[in-house]
Amino acid sequence: MEAAAGGHSSGLSLAQKLAQLHGSPPPVPKGFSKPVFGFHLMTCVGRTPQNNSWNHSWPKFFAENRLKAVWKTVEKNHGTDGELQNLLDRVLKEVVPGLLGNGHLGGRKGVQPALVHGDLWSGNKARGSIGGKGGVEDVVFDPSSCYAHSEYELGIMRMFGGFSAGFFKEYHRLIPKTHPKAEYDDRLSLYELLVNGSMQLKMDEMLMLAIDING
């Protein structure tokens, strides 16, 4: 990629490209009868490996392959915190099934696995031309891809900023917010927990969600 400071896009906007990526039909992995969540190989976010073992269930994949894995990294880097561990256990038992549970997220049809970039923040996007050919347009790089709930991508994007309200408005015209729409912001807050440095900051917020979900 050759970066450029400006110029008109020769193709789709970044919001349109992301919607196109998320809306692409997912494949059926070998040994399965329908699309599932995960990826065919391990990927990394920075230096952190990501376990992408296939799973039929999005809440199980998110809890086991993402939240618990991030927590292990936090423990390795900062030591064990019993209080935080208790909060995480409650998030796993109450918040994850409450917001992402099968039969709840996406209604009776559930959610379709979507191919996501997986580490899309302002530092992994630019304006440029691919291989010096064609016009200047929005490009992204350094992915940590998997097949996930499409909004999983948006939580990471919102955490770091760099994407305008207009971007999200354009994206959601093409990929509507998942049912129940009223829980959209709560879901994105849950997905933000995957950013290592935010786990402790966000855990109290997740605890309040657990209380709300359980009345």
Identify the residue whose tokens are 């906007």.
Answer: 13
| Mean pLDDT of all residues in 96-102 | 95
Name the CATH code of domain 18-115+145-213 (choices 3.40.50.1000, 3.10.450.40, 3.90.1200.10, 1.10.540.10).
3.90.1200.10
What pLDDT was estimated at residue 204? 65
Quick: pLDDT tens for 123-136: 999 988 877 777 88
Using one digit for the tens of pLDDT, what is the confidence trace for 177-208? 999 999 999 999 889 887 755 555 566 666 66
In degrees, to the nearest 5, what angle opens at C-alpha 105 toward C-alphas 103 and 106?
90
The answer to whether 149 and 58 are in contact (CB under 8 A) is yes
Measured from the Cβ of residue 32, the count of other Cβ atoms closer than 10 Å reads 11
pLDDT of 22 over the 60 cut: yes
Return the structure tokens found at 199. 């786990």
Q: How confident is the model at residue 18, as a pLDDT?
A: 97
Q: What are phi and psi of 178, to 5 degrees?
A: -70, 145
Q: Which of 89, 119, 138, 204 is catalytic?
A: 119
pLDDT digit string (tens) for 150-165? 999 999 899 888 999 9
Q: Where are the beta strands (DSSP E) in 59-188?
A: 114-116, 125-130, 133-140, 146-148
Residue 81 a catalytic site member: no
Q: In which band, very low, low, confident or very high, does the pLDDT at 48 lie, cut at 50, 70 and 90?
A: confident
Q: Pairing between strand 133-140 and 125-130?
A: antiparallel
Residue closest to 147 by CA, chosen among 69, 70, 61 = 61
